[in-house]
Structure formats: C-alpha cells, structure tokens
Amino acid sequence: MHDATYNKPAALKGYSVKNATTDISNDLLDWYDRERRSLPWRAEPGQRADPYRVWLSEIMLQQTTVATVKAYFVKFLKLWPTVEALAQAPQEQVLKEWAGLGYYARARNLHKCARVVTGELGGQFPQSEDGLRALPGIGDYTAAAIAAIAFGVPAVVVDGNIERVVSRLFRINDMLPQAKKPIKAAAATITPTERSGRPGDFAQAMMDLGAGVCTPRKPKCSQCPLAAHCKAATFGDMERYPVRKPKTVKPTRRAISFWLTHNSHILLERRADKGLLGGMPGLFSTPWVERTEFPGAGEWADAAPHQGEWRLGETIAKHTFTHFHLETRLAVAAVPARLNVENGFWVPLADLADVGLPTVFKKMLPLAR
Ligand code: SF4
C-alpha cells in the first residue's frame, strides 16, 4: 500500500517516492527469512544478537569483504571471546592478529574501543547511535548498523551494498558522493520505524540482497524480491546505478626497502602509530613517494638503516593500496653485529611469518632469496 500522506524529505526533491511503502520491507523480510546468509557473527533466527560479535564484525567488515573477514572473526573470537578479554590483550598482539586485514587504524581503534567499553561503560556497549558514535573507530554507518542489528533500534543503515540497492530502487541520478544524501533519505523511507518491524533484520536483508542478488554487474532481477518496486529494473538500466565519477588512474609510488640481517635475525621497523600501516612492523624503506624511477643509489643509501655495502635486487614487488600502487625493490646487506636503530627491532628469520607483517611487506620477502 502506498503511503499517500508521505512527507518527502528535502534530499529527495525531484525523486518519486511512491516506493515509500511498507510493502518493500515486508517483501524483503519474507525473502530474508528464506534466503538469509549464515555468517559466524549472526544470531540464529529468533535469538538475540550479541553486541560484542556485531561490533567486532562490523569493524572488520569496514573496507574488507565478508569472505576475508570470516576466518579473522572466528580467530578473534577464539582468542578473545568477550570485550573484556580483548581489552586486556596487549595492543601489539591485536595488531599482529589483525595483520592481513589492512587498514590498521581499525585494529588500534578496536582495541581502544574495547578498553573504553570495559573501563568506562561496565562492559556494555551503548544502545543508541549517538552513544556508539562516541566510541573510537565507530562512524555513522557502523553506529547505525550496531544499533539496528544488536539492539533493534530503527536506524537507517547504508553500506556499499545498500547504497547500490537503494540507488537502483529509486533510480537516484545524483553522482556519488553527493548521492549519499538522497540515498540515505530514500533508505529512510523504506526502513522499518518500529522495533517490531525488525530493523536489524531489514538492514541485514538489504546487505544480503546487495551481496548476492543486486550485484554490481548483472544483477539477478528475476530472483529479486523487490523487482516489482524497482525503478531501475523497470527502465532496464540497473548497472548505471549508483552513478559514479569515471575512475581516475592511481599513481605509482616507488621505493627501496632494506633487508638487513645478522646471524639469522632480521631488522624490522615498528612504524609510527599515525599514518599508513600505523604501529605495524615492516621493513625500513625510503619514503613511499610518487615517481617515475626508483630512487638512485646516492638517494636510497642515505635512507638505509646501516651505512655499508648493500646489494640491490632487480625484481620488483607490487602492491596496491586504495589510493596508489607501490613498487619496491629490495636492498640486501648483512652486518657482523646487531645495530641499534631508532624504531628498529630484531627478530629471528624463522619467526618472520609470525610477527604480523602487513601484506605489502610479505610480498617483498621472496625478493630476498
Ligand atoms: S530488481 Fe534488480 S536492480 Fe532492482 S533491487 Fe532487485 S536486483 Fe537490484
């Protein structure tokens, strides 16, 4: 039934909101009850979600796929089954176990947040979006997702998947990121407004629909429970949404990294807490800057953790971050005694796989052979 008295939000000026109807959430929830994904952090139907699990999974899922997160989630839960246990862990261990998930500021904030919840909030996560947003590492989206899924708050949850579904349902023609506002306003028109409307399940159903049915390429509209409500499906231009700027070419940064050993030990750097891969172990390197050539010998020798003889390898390790590609060559040297280098620490080569090296550095390891 269409809501004839619906008051259109300003952000939806110019868009038809005939879809603002409870039919959408009912159709979606019926589908979810049949097709929901079974994920390790999800409560079984009819059971209450555990806020710790919901929070942990939502932090891991920021910028990381469900497939990758599953194994990390299970590992974290085994190591630290409660928020109190996580709060008591040394930060270094949390970073180490996080290695490979990327975006390491998330791990530092995860740990900080666990300490705030345990130390200041008696081990209980706040239930409101505002209360959650005040915690380290929790932004608008994550606060809404936790409030809805863990506490049944009718919050408007819009992640990348939901953004795609909603922009297609309503044919939102604004270009991202400006489109975020009308997309959220449109999402609000279909989100259940009462706890009894199962807002947490609604959010998870939208996520599942975006992940498995309303996919970026070739959405499976014939299997979609919302096809009858979907404007893009009516017009047949689903893949046009969400409208994005044409992709810009990522710049390439080039650097020399240093493989310095002494007696079956290697020198690693503990990176500064702030910035890319903050607080993580890595190889000492020249600065990662955009350039067409690798640094010349005079230049990189100055940045080396030891002034002596180095052999520079020809092979290049490549890694792609969100905003740039990185190409690295490895300079190799051995020293007769351990040096003390600021922010440096020595580890046995045999333990290198266990120190939690980020992927970018793991890709450099074969270059040393
Ligand atoms: S009908 Fe197609 S485009 Fe529309 S929401 Fe469903 S899968 Fe997405």
Ligand 1 binding pocket includes 221 (Cβ within 6 Å): yes
Secondary structure letter of residue 71 according to DSSP? H
pLDDT at 128: 97
Q: Which amino acid is at 50?
A: D
Ligand 1 binding pocket includes 229 (Cβ within 6 Å): no
Q: Whose CA is nearest to atom 4 of ligand 1?
A: 230
pLDDT at 20: 47
pLDDT at 246: 85
**Burial classification of residue 120, based on how many CB atoms lie within 10 Å of its CB (0-12 exposed, 13-18 middle, 19 or more buried):** exposed
Let me know how long the chain is. Answer: 369
Q: What is the pLDDT of residues 238-277, one digit of tens each?
A: 999 999 988 888 999 999 999 999 999 999 999 998 889 9
Ligand 1 atom nearest to 164, measured from its CA: 8
Ligand 1 binding pocket includes 238 (Cβ within 6 Å): yes
Ligand 1 binding pocket includes 169 (Cβ within 6 Å): yes
Ligand 1 binding pocket includes 69 (Cβ within 6 Å): no
- The residue behind tokens 């891991």 is 60
Q: Are 9 and 188 in contact (CB under 8 A)?
A: yes
Distance 73 CA to ligand 1 centre (A): 30
Ordered by where they begin, the domains of the chain are 10-240 (1.10.340.30), 252-368 (3.90.79.10)
Q: Whose CA is nearest to atom 8 of ligand 1?
A: 214
Q: Is 284 strand, coil or helix? A: strand
pLDDT at 302: 86
pLDDT at 22: 66
Ligand 1 atom nearest to 238, measured from its CA: 3
Distance 214 CA to ligand 1 centre (A): 5
Prediction pTM value: 0.75
Q: Whose CA is nearest to atom 5 of ligand 1?
A: 165
Secondary structure letter of residue 359 according to DSSP? H
Q: Catalytic site residues?
A: 58
Q: Is 150 strand, coil or helix? A: helix
Ligand 1 binding pocket includes 24 (Cβ within 6 Å): no
Substitution candidate for ligand 1 out of 165, 215, 217 with most atoms within 8 A of CB: 165
Rounded to whole angstroms, how far apart are CA atoms 18 and 282? 54
pLDDT at 353: 85
Q: Whose CA is nearest to atom 1 of ligand 1?
A: 227
Ligand 1 atom nearest to 241, measured from its CA: 3
H/E element, 282: strand 281-282
Distance 35 CA to ligand 1 centre (A): 16
Ligand 1 atom nearest to 226, measured from its CA: 6
pLDDT at 14: 60
Residues (pLDDT < 70) of the chain are: 1-22
Q: Are 265 and 344 in contact (CB under 8 A)?
A: no
Q: Whose CA is nearest to atom 2 of ligand 1?
A: 221
| Structure-token pair, residue 13 | 């000026």
Ligand 1 atom nearest to 231, measured from its CA: 4
Ligand 1 binding pocket includes 162 (Cβ within 6 Å): no
Substitution candidate for ligand 1 out of 226, 231, 234, 237 with most atoms within 8 A of CB: 226
Q: Is 252 strand, coil or helix? A: strand
